[in-house]
Structure 1
Amino acid sequence: MILNLTFDDVKKMKENFLSSPKNIVAMNAASNNAITAVSLKREYVAKYNHVFSHEIPSMKITNQEHSGRCWIFAGLNVFKYEAAKNLNLEQFEFSQSYEMFWDKLEKANYFLESIIKTSSEDLQSRLVSWLLQRLVEDGGQWGMFSNLVKKYGVVPKDVMKESYNTSNSQIMNMLLKSKLREDAMLLRKMHDEGKSLDEIMKRKKEMLSEIYNVLAVNIGIPPERFDYEYRDKEGNYHRIENITPQEFFERYVKMNLDKMVSLINCPTPDKEYMKTYTVDFLGNVVGGDEVVYLNVDLESFKNIAMKAVMDEKPTWFASDVGKMMEREKGILDTDVFDFENLYGVNFNLTKSQRLDYGDSLMTHAMVLLGVDVMDGKPTKWKVENSWGDKNGKDGYFIMGEKWFEEYAYEIVVDESYLSDEMKEAWRAKPIVLPPWDPMGSVARVK
């Protein structure tokens, strides 16, 4: 049976709406103001303060500007606390543009390899269509960040500063995508014409050289070795000479990235807890480590994050930041807006249902720097964002515990925080998810 929407139906809807004076007031308010402004709950704004029972001393906030590099910013923000301690500095920042350059070049290679691998697939297949949409975007995952650092190391921000196009990446990305789609067409054509794999790979190298040119023009050339001069907390002068980015990481960050574990809380029926998962065609460095997650229950997820922060370990995490966020005040809370009373409509999807029905996924990476603990349980979190200092308290956000439960999906911690059972599960061969699975999303919000 087909049920058409009739004018009588619409008339009844209108009469029902106008029968309530509250609807008229809501219409007048919301049609003249931002929805978030008229639905903001003042009591939830007033209840938050930036005092935490456990807090890691913070530094100046970073700013990804008009780019989707939050995952790189968050990863380097984790590293900077170790570097500042080892260099005896009050403030420190790593170069995000350095990592961005290599990420773009590696993603271009990863994309072209994927195109070659799928050359026999129909152009209109879901997989090839997906590949042609998800190429050299700004977003990424912890595992991808780890691969970059293992291969290319890190440099201080002063060594490779931001360019206009790292902070405003839209046009550069558009041109890179157009060129790579052209390259994909040519590689698939070579396959169809029966060209040898050696010929195809030779052509791919030429294509990557062109991508390098575009990146070098827009970003600059990354240093192979560099000198770094600074004054420490006491004003003493230091000069580090002729060091490689890889050596700088080993000497001044000293983190064992092989010991870092990505935990997710994904309560969908198709993903068992205590199982590891990877996502097909999700990556950046060909030959690097797979992006792997261990799915754990919510209580374990929260408790491990809490313990890491209490131990003064800055903790990378990914969430759906656009949900229930008051950006100007820097509040992440499931009750900060009263949409239900504004519209007279309930929003009842669970975390699992939001993932299954495309209403939520990982969109943004940030760093946990503090937690308020009462009776052994977290009540709110201090979050280091990378949107500059104009939002929240000097750029720092407050995240409510319920928001963490509903919209946080991934944390990265040292394996020492895992139980023996979790460690065993982490070592198991991961289950491969399709590329379009919600756990294949990348953090990219600007």
Structure 2
Amino acid sequence: MSELSVKSLQEWSKKLDGDNNTQLAAAVLRTYNVDESLVNRDVFIKNTTKIFNNSVEIEGSPITNQKSSGRCWLFAATNVLRLEIMKKFNLKEFQFSQNYLFFFDKLEKCNFFLNQFADEIDNNGNDIDSRLIQFMLTDPTGDGGQFDMFINIVEKYGLVPHSLYPDTYSSTASRALNFLLKTKLREFAEQLKTAKSQGEKVKPLIEEMQAEIHRLMVIFLGKPPSINEKLTWEFKNKSDEVKSLEITPISFYKETLGIDLTNYVSLLNDPRNSYNTNVQIDKLGNVQGGKLVKYLNLPIEEVIQYAIKSIQNNKAIFFGTHTPIYMDKKKGIMDESLFNYKLIGFETKQSKASRIQYKQSLMTHAMVITAVHLDSNNEPIRWKVENSWGDSSGQNGYYVMDNQYFKDYVYQVVIDKADLSQEHIEMHDDDFKNIVLPPWDPMGALAVFSDQVELV
């Protein structure tokens, strides 16, 4: 083993004292923000553009804002779907109720956790200190989620317009609610462990626990409409005509929207694992008995081609990326070369697979792609990204993502099966080719840690 030598420290310091480049960098960066001081002007100019030669026909309005919550996946998914409602009813703007989905996702997550915990206590011989049990207890009801989890909630509970179940304070600032829910779930977990050890039936106990969770959520998020409750949605179209529609949450999804979410497939680029296989995250879900998170793992070049095809077919794209790494929130740019760290002698050479393995990168945020700019050879140069951090973020709520950034830091895109090759459809539907990753794998981070990452 090598100890740090005091003599070496003295020699290094003396060498730096005589290095004018180091002294200049220090003079600037000890006073000013590094990411503002080292912006590459040429890269900034290149990415400050509204020119894209392939885009969806309409873009969503208004720019949404998840505020101090980790609901990015709910915003990204509904921001994709709202384009169909805006087109059907000739609307200037529209939002689905993210709070409605948030309520039922969190309620279902609590039930999912309690059932999974009860099962794992049996499987682990009541060992509360096992890695899996301890991981499950870390954040049993975080705000994060994945597209398969979105499908679970919408298939069971439907959708409603934002105006019929708007945000509350606690849906926009979820820390207090999450703290109370986690506190109760950990207490309930102990009660389940005790009940199991005494041979008691836990099903009625879990139902009592869920009633208490439901009570807390109604207090913080409001009482949501039931799935078959008749609602009146009133709206004004672009011609300023006032319209009214009788709906239920289920009919608004099944009939008014008319899109079958079960036909959407999550494509993954995870170079650690074999391509042309399904990757599943063990025990990662929200609805007991529903879909677990599953991806079809493909080379990044094929993922990019499917993304281009989707845009050209007038379909916006839900995608998962590592954010906010190499993102300038003020300038609205996602480009690793924007920050000229080479000027201070800083370079990194890890591959995408290595960055995942060594905890330098993981999937943390979901957004929407609405356009791509192709060169004369039909190769992508840049992508237009709709975020959910409000219109004061980025370029009026939008970001420009360099294609190299897509290759390096995009992990997931969600594509309609109609746009997939028959070969890839068959691969996705073949459950015998699954690679099962542990719940703590970085490819599950968007669903597990989203609230912790985004609230920073």
Letter matched to residue 176 of structure 1: L
Unaligned 5+ segments in structure 1 are: none
Q: Equivalences for 1:57-76 in 2 at 5 Å? A: 57-58=58-59, 59-76=61-78
Q: Equivalences for 1:261-276 in 2 at 5 Å? A: 261-268=265-272, 271-276=273-278
| Paired position in structure 2 for 1:365 | 366
Deviation at 1:103, TM superposition (A): 0.7
- Contact kept in structure 2, 1:87 and 1:252, CA below 8 Å: no
Q: For residues 84 and 159 of structure 2, what CA distance do their matches in structure 1 show? A: 13
Q: Equivalences for 1:276-295 in 2 at 5 Å? A: 276-295=278-297
Q: For residues 346 and 39 of structure 2, what CA distance do their matches in structure 1 show? A: 16
- Contact kept in structure 1, 2:270 and 2:297, CA below 8 Å: yes
| Paired position in structure 2 for 1:244 | 248
1:354 pairs with 2:359:
no
Q: Deviations over 1:242-278 (max 9, x none)?
A: x21110112222111121110001111xx11100111
**TM-score scaled by length of structure 1:** 0.96
Q: Deviations over 1:381-411 (max 9, x none)?
A: 0000000001222101100000000000000
Letter matched to residue 445 of structure 2: S
- Contact kept in structure 1, 2:362 and 2:445, CA below 8 Å: yes
| Paired position in structure 2 for 1:301 | 303
| Paired position in structure 2 for 1:130 | 135
| Paired position in structure 2 for 1:234 | 239
Q: Equivalences for 1:149-298 in 2 at 5 Å? A: 149-195=154-200, 199-224=201-226, 225=229, 226-241=231-246, 243-268=247-272, 271-298=273-300
| Paired position in structure 2 for 1:11 | 10
Unaligned 5+ segments in structure 2 are: none
Deviation at 1:194, TM superposition (A): 2.3
- Contact kept in structure 1, 2:139 and 2:182, CA below 8 Å: no
Q: For residues 32 and 310 of structure 1, what CA distance do their matches in structure 2 show? A: 47
- Contact kept in structure 1, 2:283 and 2:292, CA below 8 Å: no
Q: For residues 380 and 2 of structure 2, what CA distance do their matches in structure 1 show? A: 49
Q: For residues 267 and 138 of structure 1, what CA distance do their matches in structure 2 show? A: 27
Letter matched to residue 29 of structure 2: A
Q: For residues 188 and 177 of structure 2, what CA distance do their matches in structure 1 show? A: 16
- Contact kept in structure 2, 1:340 and 1:347, CA below 8 Å: no
Deviation at 1:137, TM superposition (A): 0.3
Deviation at 1:355, TM superposition (A): 0.8
Q: For residues 353 and 228 of structure 1, what CA distance do their matches in structure 2 show? A: 50
Q: For residues 19 and 197 of structure 2, what CA distance do their matches in structure 1 show? A: 65
% same residue: 36
Q: For residues 27 and 166 of structure 1, what CA distance do their matches in structure 2 show? A: 43
| Paired position in structure 2 for 1:86 | 88
Deviation at 1:431, TM superposition (A): 2.5
Letter matched to residue 311 of structure 1: N
Q: Deviations over 1:331-359 (max 9, x none)?
A: 000201012322x2321111110111111
The number of aligned residues is 438
Deviation at 1:422, TM superposition (A): 1.0
| Paired position in structure 2 for 1:28 | 27
DSSP 3-state at the match of 1:335: helix
| Paired position in structure 2 for 1:43 | 42
Q: For residues 73 and 133 of structure 1, what CA distance do their matches in structure 2 show? A: 24
1:322 pairs with 2:306:
no
Q: Deviations over 1:194-227 (max 9, x none)?
A: 22xxx31111111111110111000001012221
DSSP 3-state at the match of 1:398: strand
Once structures 1 and 2 are overlaid, which stretch shifts more, 28-37 or 74-83? 28-37
Letter matched to residue 420 of structure 2: L
